[in-house]
Amino acid sequence: MPRKKPTRTLSGVSVIAVMAPAFECPGECVYCFRGQDAAQSYTGKEPAARRAITHEYDPYSITRSRIEQLEANGHPTDKLEVIVMGGTFNAFERGFQKNFIMKILEACNLETSSDLQEAQLKNEKAKHRVIGLTFETRPDWAKVSELEWFLELGATRIEFGVQSVFDDVLTKVKRGHDVATTVKATQVAKDLGYKVGYHLMPGLPGSTPDRDMDMFRIVFNDSRFKPDMVKIYPTLVIPGSELEQWVKDGSYQPLTTREAVHLLAQAKTTIPPWARVMRVQRDVPVPEVAAGLDKGNLRQLVWQEMDARGTECECIRCREVRDETGLRMKLIERRYESSGAEEVFLSYESRKANKLAGFLRLRLLKQSPHPVLREETAVVREIRVFGPEATIGEPGVWQHRGIGKKMMARAEQMACEAGYLRLAVIAGVGVRGYFRKLGYDLETPYMVKKLHTT
């Protein structure tokens, strides 16, 4: 069956966004808002929000609906990347969090379970396997205990609402935490093996386009930060927010579409090849915006601006191989310091075509708060092979052709050469079986292999 909207799975996985219900957010940010029946910071008109409202925020129904929609459009659904949206998820009571994730897994497993652990075990061989699970939270809600709790739920990626790396801006918008908190949360998350994403908001009160450019340079060059991926959300003024009153009284003026395009076209030239720009705009419908961007296709406008300037973005997303064939790929190794440890970014690339078929993130840990990672253990924080999503067990254009195994073998060799005795992988519950075939055993929540030293 031909795939409708084929770009949905050209990155190698199917993404399932499940929105948590409205709750009393711990923050008081001036730009924040909430639509009727919507989660914090959502109008209720976004696609994920509309789906959640339709299904009365039932995680089982939301997940089943999205899987069935993908299947109806001809997409494979055996490898799912789940993201729980709606703000600071760990502000919910823990029993709610556990049940929420169990219901998502039950929707993937097509059967009920007595508890979360049983649902996770079943998902290892389920029809729809969760190969990644993402939570959004605030840096000041990312203490060690909270991030270790997320590990119990099966999380593999954390997205922090960083917004700015300037304390005066954070204070002005009543964010409720400082930059030092972001720095600490980032290191803890990486030392636990998580993939780390930042949400950044250019155009906030107290900032300027020049300061926003400095923010991007700092984020990707200052070793205290260096997230693996970013979602860039130019500040929007939404009716009902405190920021709307600031616009009315003349004390704040948001970025225009033109200003945002110029800024992001310049910012994207600063993104290193080991980072991914996931989004450049919120999914808020333009009619819901009181002031700020008046176009919903900002990424396209930024690409057009970069074409006119003759510049390119080197981020992962812009270099994915997608469905191109016939390219010769070579293993490339990049090293950089990040949050108190050395990171190795392994990738299979065609330098000639500037395309990326897969990558792996190896962290050569100096310390970790988790006992499994304390004993001379390095950790693979992410491994990804791109191209059209291939069904498990069947060769695809780029997937299931040995690229992942080769990168894992090289990571094991590098960890061994660096003096580590073990290599751990933070793996979604649905991909544990893959690592077992490579000689890894489950030491909850990680897959771990003893390295053969010579």
Domain 320-450 class in CATH = alpha beta
**pLDDT for residue 35 is more than 70:** no
Tokens standing for residue 306: 């970069």
Tokens standing for residue 402: 């040995």
Query: Taking the CB of residue 153, how many other CB atoms lie within 10 A of it?
Result: 21
**pLDDT for residue 36 is more than 70:** no
Task: Locate CATH 3.40.630.30 in the chain.
Answer: 320-450
Predicted confidence (pLDDT) per residue in 256-274, tens digit: 999 999 999 999 999 999 9
The Cα 449–Cα 444 span in angstroms is 13
Q: What is the DSSP letter of 20?
A: P
Q: The whole model's pTM is what?
A: 0.94
Q: Maximum distance among all alpha carbons in the chain?
A: 71
The residue that leads in pLDDT, 244 or 397, is 244
Predicted confidence (pLDDT) per residue in 264-302, tens digit: 999 999 999 999 999 999 988 899 899 999 999 999 999
Average pLDDT over every residue of 424-436 = 97
The Cα 314–Cα 316 span in angstroms is 7
The Cα 436–Cα 447 span in angstroms is 8
The residue that leads in pLDDT, 391 or 328, is 328
Question: What's the pLDDT score for residue 182?
Answer: 99
Strand partners, 315: none
Average pLDDT over every residue of 105-129 = 98
pLDDT tier at 324, thresholds 50, 70, 90: confident
Listed range (81-90, 342-351, 380-389) with the worst mean pLDDT: 380-389
Place of tokens 């491994």: 383
Tokens standing for residue 238: 């939404």
Query: Taking the CB of residue 427, how many other CB atoms lie within 10 A of it?
Result: 24
**pLDDT for residue 341 is more than 60:** yes
Task: Locate CATH 3.20.20 in the chain.
Answer: 6-318
Residue among 294, 289, 267 at smallest CA distance from 200: 267
Question: What's the pLDDT score for residue 398?
Answer: 52
Residue among 379, 397, 412, 418 at smallest CA distance from 9: 397
Average pLDDT over every residue of 223-234 = 98
The verdict on domain 6-318 having CATH code 3.30.1330 is no
The Cα 195–Cα 155 span in angstroms is 10
Average pLDDT over every residue of 432-454 = 93
